[in-house]
């Protein structure tokens, strides 16, 4: 039995238009860089806290990973959603409270569903709301 749990360190998605797909993640603040390993295909890559996130071109029109769902924690969900919508991003589920914080689901430019979570503000707002409830009602 391993002494520690495995840690995910690589996520690869495919898109028919990698430049457009990378543009979406750049709107989230992810620094996508163009890469090519040897004679392999050009792709985009970013390193996020030890996780390598890559976008590779699909080999044919149907060769994408749109059934893969991704999730990112953001600092300010309202501002993130506004910025994404200003660039034509489709919102599938608007901001709502969830057990993980404020949550929304959008669709990236390649068709992947992307869950966005805002944790800290959610916790602070819940604590503030809790303080407004009279102690006798708690």
How many domains does the chain contain in total?
Answer: 1
Task: Give the CATH number of the domain where residue 43 resides.
Answer: 3.10.180.10
- Side by side, the strands of the sheet bearing 90-98 are 70-73, 113-118, 101-107, 90-98
Q: How distant is the alpha carbon of residue 91 from its chain centre?
A: 13
Q: Which two tokens stand for residue 65?
A: 């990973």
The answer to whether position 21 is within a domain reads yes
Q: Phi-psi region for residue 111, left (φ > 0), alpha (ψ -120 to 50) or beta?
A: left
Q: Evaluate whether residue 98 is within a structural domain.
A: yes
Q: Describe the chain by its helix, strand, coil percentages, rounded to 5.
A: 25, 35, 40
> Does any domain span residue 110?
yes
What are 30's two structure tokens? Answer: 């992810």
Q: Along the 138 residues of the chain, how does pLDDT read in single tens digits?
A: 678 899 899 999 999 999 999 999 999 999 999 999 999 999 999 999 999 999 999 877 667 788 899 999 999 999 999 999 999 999 999 999 988 899 999 999 999 999 999 986 555 565 565 456 565 543
pTM: 0.80
């Amino acid at each position: 039995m391993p002494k520690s749990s495995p840690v995910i360190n690589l996520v690869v998605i495919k898109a028919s238009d990698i430049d457009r797909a990378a543009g979406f993640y750049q709107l989230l603040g992810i620094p996508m860089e163009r890469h090519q390993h040897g004679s392999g295909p050009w792709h985009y890559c970013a390193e996020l806290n030890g996780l390598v996130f890559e976008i590779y071109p699909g080999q044919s029109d149907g060769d994408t990973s749109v059934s893969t769902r991704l999730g990112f924690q953001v600092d300010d969900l309202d501002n993130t959603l506004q910025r994404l919508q200003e660039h034509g991003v489709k919102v599938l589920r608007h901001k709502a409270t969830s057990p993980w914080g404020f949550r929304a689901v959008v669709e990236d430019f390649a068709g992947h569903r992307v869950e966005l979570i805002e944790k800290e503000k959610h916790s602070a707002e819940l604590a503030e709301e809790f303080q407004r409830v009279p102690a006798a009602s708690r």
